[in-house]
Amino acid sequence: MRPRAIDLFAGPGGLSLGLKEAGFDIIAAVEYDKDAGKTYEHNIGAHTKIKDLTKYKPQKLEKELIKSGVWVKGDDLDLIAGGPPCPGFSLIGRSKMYGTAKLKDKKLKKEVHRFIAHPKNRLFREFVNYVKHFTPKYFIMENVEGMTSYELNEEPIVEVIKRSFGENYNVDSEVLDASEFGVPQQRRRIIFIGTRSDMVLAEYPYSDEITKISALEAVRDLWNIDPTEGDAEVNVPTASPKSKGAGFRKIMNDWPCTRPDGSTVNGSETKYNHWTRKTNARDKVIFPLLKSGAGHYSSKDITIPSSKPRTIYGDVYPGMWESHLKPGFDKANLKVSRKRKRDYVESADTKWVMYPNSSFKDKMRRIRWDKPAPTIVAHLSKDGYMFIHPVHQRTITVREAARFQSFPDSFVFQGSMTSQFRQVGNAVPPLLAEKLGKCIINALSESAKKTN
């Protein structure tokens, strides 16, 4: 029998998809967002529960699992995984909000740490409650890297989190960069792995920077499938069919997903979710001025390499016009002017005000195509200015963002474009999840050998 897992704060299913590929059966997944829950069900299975974990207690889930026949009272669960949102992390050390928070732990009959007690971290406590109820052999918890830099009363928050799971678990933490595990994206996250005291310690996956895949390699086959009108095709430099990029694209095409009717599908000629926002009149003027930051390629059809720092919205300096324009771009009707310490770009009869370079250094950013993509974030649901396509004069599509997260082509996101961007940005990259899952599988195997 395959080892069994429960996915909490499951989102669209990035973590579950990777764990499933590693060899787990996901018997339940709990997610609050309805669109994300529909995406999960469409691609992975109908075992998803669209519930609020603050109200959906582990005892309730256990009863439903027993009723459905996938669980027997007293069974030993192999894994609980998830990434509980902890918005309070961004406030630690910046306010006194934690100074007044108190909470009585009814079981231990004592006050718990103020970080754990604070209402904004309630979802984290629910993850702990599920672990304490089901007592899985292992657990995986993913969260933002930023928590590693915070302390409360001279105690690192990471240590507070580890201690909250109790003496029955040995908890390790490590910051992993997804780009070192086959994901074409620089995404650093802290991963907690908890090992029950009677099990062999689970190790972290081996990190290998040689496997890094560039943004170009990730979406090479999407390069000329442009959802906007009037954008010319681009000649992409040739690459070996045996390259690491080719291997990644094959995984994206071949990785199967399960439909609600039980059928299994893999890649398709149709590239679903390949849509993005229209480029407005202002951005049509600004976007061609932003360089990719390309390095080792020199194809004039993609960009002009430059030794200057990346150009940003409002970063106007001598030589910008010549060194950053794409070949053939008509700048005859463009000019820069300055009034009251603000820069302007003029095109025909329209004048576009530009953000001050000193205050808005990251207002607009074109993705470098010679390196892994920057961290895909949920803010894509608001705008895509931090993710301008390496070549085309538009922001990236949902499909391209999903590729950078290592979601396979057969994975179809549900809901509006805004919702789809948010789902992609909040997800755990499936390829990283698969690597973590295999580490747990190995630990389970070693534990079984030890027992026998």
Query: Whose CA is closest to 45, among 18, 17, 15?
Result: 17
Tokens of 62: 């256990």
Digit-coded pLDDT (tens) for 2-56: 999 999 999 999 999 999 999 999 999 999 999 999 999 999 999 999 999 999 9
Digit-coded pLDDT (tens) for 109-159: 445 566 666 666 778 889 999 999 999 999 999 998 877 777 766 778 888
Is pLDDT of 312 > 50? no
Digit-coded pLDDT (tens) for 163-196: 999 999 999 999 999 999 999 999 999 999 999 9
Domains contained in the chain, CATH given: 4-210+427-451 (3.40.50.150)
Tokens of 97: 């909000």
Alpha carbon distance 138, 153 (integer Å): 30
Query: Whose CA is closest to 237, among 370, 84, 393, 98?
Result: 370
Which residues contact residue 243 at a Cβ distance below 8 angstroms, ignoring those fewer than 6 apart?
217
Tell me the pLDDT of the chain averaged across its residues: 79
Digit-coded pLDDT (tens) for 411-431: 999 999 999 999 999 999 999
pLDDT average, residue stretch 220-225? 82
CB 398 within 8 A of CB 421: yes
Choose the catalytic residue: 86, 199, 215, 398.
86
The sign of the torsion formed by the CA atoms of 7, 181, 310, 388 equals negative
pLDDT of residue 93: 39
Alpha carbon distance 180, 332 (integer Å): 44
**Is 439 one of the catalytic residues?**
no
Instruction: Read off the DSSP letter of residue 256.
Output: -
Is pLDDT of 246 > 60? yes
Instruction: Read off the DSSP letter of residue 147.
Output: G
Q: What are the residues facing 189 on neighbouring strands?
A: 144, 176
| Buried-exposed string 169-202: b where 16+ CB fall within 10 A, e elsewhere | bebebeebbbbbbbbbbbbebbbbbbbbeebbeb
Phi, psi of 432 (to 5 degrees): -70, -40
Residue 312: count of CB within 10 angstroms of its CB = 21
pLDDT of residue 445: 96
Query: pLDDT grade, residue 268 (50/70/90)?
Result: confident
The sign of the torsion formed by the CA atoms of 44, 402, 79, 20 equals positive
Alpha carbon distance 217, 223 (integer Å): 10
Query: Whose CA is closest to 314, among 350, 332, 341?
Result: 341
Query: Whose CA is closest to 371, among 231, 180, 225?
Result: 180
User: Torsion angle of alpha carbons 421, 423, 424, 429, nearest 10°?
Assistant: 170
Tokens of 386: 């931090």
